[in-house]
């Protein structure tokens, strides 16, 4: 059994955790804030965002990218936010998760419909090149959610929340994506945010299952960490790369005005993050 600890609480709807510079950076959609927290629980407000949802990642040079509405923003060294790319020309539906590979290619996915009230239509993935141009490189995804790139920059893995699968794409040298393939069938689970460990397994978070699950390619379940809250995303980090950070909140209570059930949880695992150390 994994001991689950609370690192931060009194948050709203927390998402998009990333481990950089010896701390966790994440978004609180409900509060409109990007926050950072170190392993001792010291928190810092990084910036405020007037959009929902908004997810984040970093470029290889350390600059923070934030998906905000129909724009991809970049945060400069002085904290100023400017437009890195316009996303609305690709789709005007809600943009969601983001991941940047080691070469600076950035992938942002779009869920394809106005969640939660509109009728479902498939989503897509856009590639934003280093010069800020956005173009569609994949489609037909059943609510694309968490994404991760393997350390060798060869494969993009995407969680399809409505499809109950992790889907993989080969990445071409120019950033284009090859045909999709099922990386893992998840037996009815609804995967949300994901991360990759040093053995090539994927951790996925799940809101309805209130858990994070480690699976290998093909779908074999290796480990499960349960929570009293819905788990929206997860990220490996910490001094040895073996701390699994989980963003969690009560669902659907987190959508109720005034609700502050959001937390950042931690659990120690045996396999470090992909690319650790570094």
pLDDT value of residue 251? 86
Residue 260: pLDDT above 90? yes
Q: Which of the two residues, 136 and 256, has the higher pLDDT score?
A: 136
CA separation for the pair 74, 227 (Å, rounded) = 33
Half-sphere exposure at residue 48, Cβ-oriented, CA atoms within 13 angstroms: 2
pLDDT, mean over the chain: 95
Segment 211-227, tens digit of pLDDT: 999 999 999 999 999 99
User: CA of 264: how far to CAs of 15, 63, 197, 245, 254, in Å?
Assistant: 9, 23, 19, 7, 14
pLDDT value of residue 252? 80
Is the pTM here over 0.85, yes or no?
yes
Query: At 1, is the pLDDT very low, low, confident or very high (cuts 50, 70, 90)?
Result: low
* Across 116-125, 127-136, 245-254, least confident range: 245-254
pLDDT value of residue 211? 98
Residue 278: pLDDT above 60? no
Residue 147: pLDDT above 90? yes
Query: At 91, is the pLDDT very low, low, confident or very high (cuts 50, 70, 90)?
Result: very high
Structurally, what CATH architecture does the domain formed by 5-268 represent?
6 Propeller (2.120)
CA separation for the pair 123, 29 (Å, rounded) = 21
* Residues facing 48 on adjacent strands: 33
For the chain, the structural domain boundaries read: 5-268
Query: At 116, is the pLDDT very low, low, confident or very high (cuts 50, 70, 90)?
Result: confident
CA separation for the pair 197, 242 (Å, rounded) = 9
Torsion of the alpha carbons at 216, 19, 146 and 258, rounded to the nearest 10: 130
Segment 154-202, tens digit of pLDDT: 999 999 999 999 999 999 989 999 999 999 999 999 999 999 999 999 9
Segment 25-48, tens digit of pLDDT: 999 999 999 999 999 999 999 999
For the chain, percent of residues with pLDDT exceeding 90:
90
Backbone angles phi, psi at 200, to 5 degrees: 80, 5
Strands 23-28 and 14-20, sheet pairing: antiparallel
């Amino acid at each position: 059994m994994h001991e689950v600890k609370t690192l931060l609480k009194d948050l709203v709807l927390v998402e998009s955790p990333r481990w950089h510079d010896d701390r966790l950076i994440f978004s609180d959609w409900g509060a409109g804030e990007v926050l950072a927290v170190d392993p001792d629980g010291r928190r810092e407000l990084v910036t405020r965002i007037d959009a929902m949802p908004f997810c984040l990642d970093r470029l290889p040079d350390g600059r923070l990218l934030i998906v905000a509405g129909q724009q991809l923003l970049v945060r400069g060294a002085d904290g100023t936010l400017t437009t890195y790319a316009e996303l609305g020309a690709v789709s005007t539906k809600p943009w969601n998760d983001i991941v940047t590979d080691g070469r600076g290619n950035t992938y942002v996915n779009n869920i394809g419909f106005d969640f939660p009230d509109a009728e479902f239509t498939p989503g897509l993935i856009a590639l934003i090149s280093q010069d800020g141009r956005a173009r569609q490189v994949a489609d037909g995804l059943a609510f694309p959610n968490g994404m991760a790139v393997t350390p060798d920059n060869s494969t993009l893995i995407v969680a399809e929340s409505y499809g109950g699968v992790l889907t993989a794409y080969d990445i071409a040298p120019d950033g284009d994506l090859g045909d999709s393939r099922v990386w893992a069938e998840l037996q009815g689970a609804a995967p949300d945010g994901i991360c990759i460990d040093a053995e090539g397994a994927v951790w996925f978070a799940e809101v309805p299952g209130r858990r994070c699950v480690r699976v290998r390619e093909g779908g074999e379940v290796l480990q499960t960490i349960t929570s009293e809250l819905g788990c929206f995303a997860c990220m490996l980090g910490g001094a040895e790369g073996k701390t699994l950070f989980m963003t969690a909140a009560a669902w659907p209570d987190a959508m109720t005005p005034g609700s502050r059930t959001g937390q950042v949880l931690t659990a120690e695992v045996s396999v470090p993050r992909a690319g650790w150390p570094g």
